[in-house]
């Protein structure tokens, strides 16, 4: 099987020596597909439970869902005390500190201002952006005694930058606990390969952000391949592309990077750190990510140049 990261094409694989089950559901604003290797009864049950778990997370962490504690926090200021959400927020805040504020879950007011929630896209005036930035900043958030509160009632959070990775991670736990040791999860182009597909590693293709083809592929085993791109959610105004990845300091969508793909064993951290080269810029972003042990990255710049981390440079047979 080759799964193409970046919401491209899925081709199912059924080898002669093992059986692959497949199930797809729509959640997290995308299609999620699990391929599980093993006997039909075992694989089917495990996939159902894994997808159920992902749907639970989708509801709980979705800032636009009135049933979510995140929604209540954003709209009424009600503190969040759910242990699962608190744990993920804590992880997000650590990444905010380590990235110098480049990653920030309080970006929700900007996403709303630009129309990315309603999908009624809008190019704000500079004054509107300045006013909005007064309510953006992870430093307004406080974690104390298992509760998340905020110092500014206008601050709103969006956990979309880590929640999909968390859902994938939880699904992998469910699959393993139910007897599946070989599987692949594709959540709208964000992929995790569990074990091997028979005797071979899973192949994950890297989408060309400006075309229908691929730039190549990576082979993974017990690794996530998480991506972010300016082609995922965007609008074009007067010939200029405006996308959903914001610089929390300027209030504008970032420039200079088309796509970032991270290969790492933790899908939560991989998803979050994909945003960093967009905000820091391709060269500084690559330099920062190189400091994280065992993390590999592919960065496609605005000009179409492809930058690789040193780990991938030594394994060029992985990239066509």
Residue 69: name the closest of 82, 57, 54, 58 by CA: 82
**Which residue shows structure tokens 């609008």?**
235
Please report the pLDDT score of residue 313 as a whole number.
60
**Which residue shows structure tokens 């919401």?**
7
Let me know whether 139 and 255 are in one domain. no
Please report the pLDDT score of residue 214 as a whole number.
80
- CATH number for the domain that contains residue 83: 1.10.3980.10
Give the end of a domain, one of 160, 191, 206.
160
Please report the pLDDT score of residue 199 as a whole number.
85
Let me know whether 11 and 34 are in one domain. yes
Which domain does 40 fall in, by range? 2-61+161-318
**157 token code pair:** 């959070």
Q: Is the dihedral of CA 235, 236, 241, 246 positive or negative?
A: negative
**pTM of the full structure:** 0.92
Let me know whether 181 and 288 are in one domain. yes
Q: How many domains does the chain have?
A: 2
Please report the pLDDT score of residue 198 as a whole number.
84
- Distance separating alpha carbons of residues 32 and 34, to the nearest angstrom: 7
Let me know whether 50 and 78 are in one domain. no
Please report the pLDDT score of residue 64 as a whole number.
95
Chain length of the chain: 320
Let me know whether 254 and 284 are in one domain. yes
- 284-293 in b/e form (b: 16+ CB < 10 A) is ebbebbeebe
Let me know whether 172 and 190 are in one domain. yes
Please report the pLDDT score of residue 17 as a whole number.
56
Q: Which residues of the chain have pLDDT under 50?
A: 1-16, 314, 316-320
Please report the pLDDT score of residue 1 as a whole number.
37
Let me know whether 171 and 44 are in one domain. yes
Give the end of a domain, one of 134, 160, 186.
160
- CATH number for the domain that contains residue 304: 3.10.520.10
Please report the pLDDT score of residue 8 as a whole number.
33
Let me know whether 200 and 309 are in one domain. yes
By the 8 A CB rule, do 209 and 229 touch? yes
Give the end of a domain, one of 124, 141, 160.
160
Let me know whether 44 and 94 are in one domain. no
Q: What is the 3-state secondary structure (H, E, C) of 149-212?
A: EECCCCCCCCCHHHHHHHHHHHHHHHHHHCCCCCEEEEECCEEEEECCECCECEEEEEECCCCC
Please report the pLDDT score of residue 216 as a whole number.
83
- Distance separating alpha carbons of residues 179 and 39, to the nearest angstrom: 10
């Amino acid at each position: 099987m080759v799964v193409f990261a970046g919401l491209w094409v899925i081709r199912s694989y059924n080898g002669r020596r093992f059986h692959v089950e497949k199930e797809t559901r729509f959640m997290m604003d995308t299609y999620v597909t699990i391929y599980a290797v093993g006997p039909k009864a075992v694989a089917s049950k495990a996939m159902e439970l894994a997808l159920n778990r992902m749907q639970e997370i989708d509801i709980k962490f979705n800032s636009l869902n009135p049933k979510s504690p995140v929604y209540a926090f954003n709209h009424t200021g009600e503190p969040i005390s759910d242990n699962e959400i608190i744990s993920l927020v804590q992880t997000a805040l650590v990444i905010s500190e380590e990235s110098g504020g480049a990653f920030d879950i309080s970006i929700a007011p900007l996403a709303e201002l630009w129309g990315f929630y309603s999908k009624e896209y809008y190019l704000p005036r500079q004054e509107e952006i300045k006013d909005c930035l007064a309510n953006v900043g992870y430093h307004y958030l406080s974690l104390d005694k298992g509760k998340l509160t905020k110092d500014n009632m206008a601050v709103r959070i969006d956990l979309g930058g880590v929640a999909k990775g968390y859902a994938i991670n939880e699904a992998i736990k469910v699959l393993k606990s139910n007897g599946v040791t070989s599987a692949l999860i594709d959540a709208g182009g964000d992929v995790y390969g569990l074990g091997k597909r028979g005797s071979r590693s899973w192949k994950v293709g890297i989408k060309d952000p400006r075309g229908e083809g691929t730039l190549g592929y990576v082979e993974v085993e017990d690794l996530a391949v998480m991506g972010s791109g300016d082609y995922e959610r965007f609008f074009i105004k007067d010939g200029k592309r405006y996308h959903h990845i914001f610089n929390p300091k300027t209030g504008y969508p970032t420039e200079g990077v088309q796509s970032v793909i991270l290969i790492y064993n933790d899908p939560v951290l991989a998803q979050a750190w994909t945003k960093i080269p967009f905000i820091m810029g391709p060269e500084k972003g690559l330099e920062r990510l190189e400091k994280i042990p065992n993390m590999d990255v592919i960065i496609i710049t605005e000009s179409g140049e492809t930058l690789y981390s040193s780990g991938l440079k030594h394994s060029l047979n992985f990239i066509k």
